[in-house]
Structure 1
Amino acid sequence: MDRMLAARLHVPSRTLRVEEVPRPQPGPGEVLVKVEAAGVCLSDVHLVDGTLTPLFLRGDTVTLGHEVSGTVAGTGEGVTAWTPGQRVVLHAGQIRDGVTYTRGVDYDGGWAEYALSAADAMTALPDAIPFEQGAIIPDAVSTPWGAITQTGAVRPAEAVGVWGVGGLGVHAVQLLRVIGACPIVAVDPNPTARQRALAAGADLALDPANPDLRAAVRAATGGSGLAVAFDFAGVPIVREQAVSVLAPRGRLVLVGLTDKPLTLTHGTHFSYLQQQIRGHYGSDMPVALPQLLRLIEGGRLDFSGSVSAVLPLARAAEAVERLRKKEGDPIRLVLRP
């Protein structure tokens, strides 16, 4: 049987090892993809450190990696839409029987030499887009895109705030600029992240510890506050701060994942202003990926600066540690088998 390398997480012990495993074979309706690039996400870090736990994983070990690009290596019975050699981006998950299963969490992902995908859970990757950039789109880009266009329903000229300008938040700033949000306020304790936000298109970048933050937001929005605030940090104190600068009927969109309780200090005030809290997860891949790829091809978006470093698959554990420690303030680290 053919073998391959894969970065496997033993969930009970949170042990990550790159080891040799059998190469999967595509079954009916499946496609085997030769992985060319796979992104390293903060969610992967949280799976390794125990903050996140798979909900639907069968067994106790999983190959990580939900941001994956590659080429079709083979197809299973009944697959006619794909042929060997085609460049593809794998969706970060798929819905079956009304349940969302996440690649690299609930089933084996792309931190490997080869990965399986359902034939309807892939999108063609144009030749002009490098594999490294294509790989990060299924989460680092499409998740904020879905949060902005669907959950947050941001409209042109609406005032918007982004808390946490990391791997997803910095892309949110770019995407908000493209759809015409104004002004865009970025909030992050890291000076490098704030500079990055301004370079990506933010109109104002603030330190959350700034005692004049609320006044600065009010001034930037003509006294009305933010129509939409996005929490990409997943930190309870962030949510309280974001709510404090929301406009009447403003929406707080929760994108950053956390296992901490959701609380509101001034519940009556929140209700009086008819504000909303909306949870967000992932995106509608069959819709989002073609949209984003078209915008990249058309020159409206450029994510060439988002790939901070490319490491070999054998150094997966190192990549996780570098992201955990934020060494070099990376936007996205990418693994190549």
Structure 2
Amino acid sequence: MPATVPTTTPTTLPATMRAQRLDTATLTFEVTDVAVPEPGPGEVLIEVAFCGICHSDLSLLDGTFPAMGPPVITQGHEASGTIAALGPGVEGWAVGDRVVPAAGRPCGRCAACRRAQYGRCTALALMAFAYDGAWAQYTLAQALGLTRIPDGVSMEQAAILADAVSTPYGAVVHTADLRVGESVGVWGAGGVGTHVVQIARLVGATPIVAVDLDPVVRQRALDLGADLALDSRDPDLAARILEVTGGEGLDAAFDAVGLAVTFEQALASLGNGGRLVGVGMSAEEMSLGSSMLFNLGRTQVRGHLGYDVADIGVLARLVSTGRLDLSRSISGVVDLEDVAEGIRVLKEREGSPVRILVRP
């Protein structure tokens, strides 16, 4: 029977924990001791098992994306763990439950939130940008944003569901509204694009074309379900996409890089009525070309960000039933004390990683 459980007493939890702390003014960080936070009303305290290192984390570290919260913040937003304590008013959860926290908190005040459309919140607070994340031994989360991890899903794979897999899922299923039998191109088959390929395959897209500079990444895309993998520098790229689509061009293209060159190349590969979904982000400006060609082609360009919390549960079921294989998505694990090394590996693309995990 669900019951309101008070916060676990301090005798069962340490007073301090290890956490990565980023100074957003100097863009320097250290792993240091901080107080273990106490869950407030509607919150839970999670003992972190694993937390991914994402390219958006790198963008905060190099100043591409500005911080949205306190001047010193803990990074990491792709987490899995077990509930260590419940705040006042939390029902339906128990200490020890294996969970994935959502990587954002809806404001609860905007027009979308008032309609209970939390995934469309216009003032969403992003974990690790607006409030402390999970490169730490413990992290706080709203109980309403939790997803239970099914038996048979590892903590490692559960961690990356919250963004690395759910954001591509949202892009494919919601934003692109991809249908069975449609043709797909994926520009950038790394951490996000790898999962766009897999989910497009799961949805029934055909053919699927992966485009990437890295031959290791191209081969991985083929192994995971792409029908064709091309180098974006190939002078015959456009012709080969036309050939594989029967001269029609792509029904949907996903730009998982976010650079002007990938955006414009993907746009040019669309067929009549095709839609381009921007998933990767940068500070570069994009061009849609001439209005005449854009309108004559009935082209659609759609921006994508994040996912619905319910998507994590769907993905967890797909993994638990063997429909979605994420065994190749964990490229390495580093201890919290060595988070700088994990950041370096991802930044330098050493070994063409999909995701590096931090283990507190």
- 2:325 corresponds, among 302, 305, 314, to 302
Alpha-carbon deviation of 1:112? 0.2
Amino acid paired to 2:190:
G
SS across alignment from 1:305: coil
User: Partners in 1 of 2:353 and 2:342 — Cα distance?
Assistant: 10
Which residue in the other structure is 1:198 paired with? 222
Unaligned runs of 5+ in 1: none
Structure 1 residues 257-266 or 108-117, which shifts more? 257-266
Which residue in the other structure is 2:152 paired with? 128
The answer to whether the aligner puts 1:81 opposite 2:92 as a matched pair is yes
User: Partners in 2 of 1:49 and 1:322 — Cα distance?
Assistant: 15
Alpha-carbon deviation of 1:80? 1.3
Contact 1:163 1:169 (C-alpha < 8 Å) held by counterparts: yes
Unaligned runs of 5+ in 2: 1-13, 110-120
Alpha-carbon deviation of 1:266? 3.1
Aligned residues: 334
Alpha-carbon deviation of 1:170? 0.5
Which residue in the other structure is 1:325 paired with? 348
Alpha-carbon deviation of 1:148? 0.2
The answer to whether the aligner puts 1:100 opposite 2:113 as a matched pair is no
User: Partners in 2 of 1:318 and 1:266 — Cα distance?
Assistant: 45
Contact 2:151 2:320 (C-alpha < 8 Å) held by counterparts: no
Which residue in the other structure is 2:190 paired with? 166
Contact 1:104 1:110 (C-alpha < 8 Å) held by counterparts: yes
- 1:53 corresponds, among 66, 74, 81, to 66
- 1:66 corresponds, among 67, 77, 81, to 77
Sequence identity of aligned pairs in percent? Answer: 46
The answer to whether the aligner puts 1:146 opposite 2:170 as a matched pair is yes
User: Partners in 2 of 1:16 and 1:152 — Cα distance?
Assistant: 37
User: Partners in 1 of 2:174 and 2:50 — Cα distance?
Assistant: 28
* RMSD, matched Cα: 1.0
Structure 1 residues 265-274 or 161-170, which shifts more? 265-274
Contact 1:62 1:104 (C-alpha < 8 Å) held by counterparts: yes
Which residue in the other structure is 1:35 paired with? 48
What do the CA deviations read for 1:191-224 (whole angstroms, capped 9, x no partner)? Answer: 1110011001000000011010011000100011
Amino acid paired to 1:306:
S
What do the CA deviations read for 1:72-113 (whole angstroms, capped 9, x no partner)? Answer: 000010011211000001111121133211111111010000
- 2:312 corresponds, among 286, 289, 292, to 289
Amino acid paired to 1:296:
V
With the length of structure 1 as denominator, give the TM-score of the two structures: 0.97
User: Partners in 2 of 1:289 and 1:280 — Cα distance?
Assistant: 17
The answer to whether the aligner puts 1:179 opposite 2:203 as a matched pair is yes
User: Partners in 2 of 1:43 and 1:16 — Cα distance?
Assistant: 16
User: Partners in 2 of 1:14 and 1:291 — Cα distance?
Assistant: 36
SS across alignment from 1:282: coil
With the length of structure 2 as denominator, give the TM-score of the two structures: 0.91
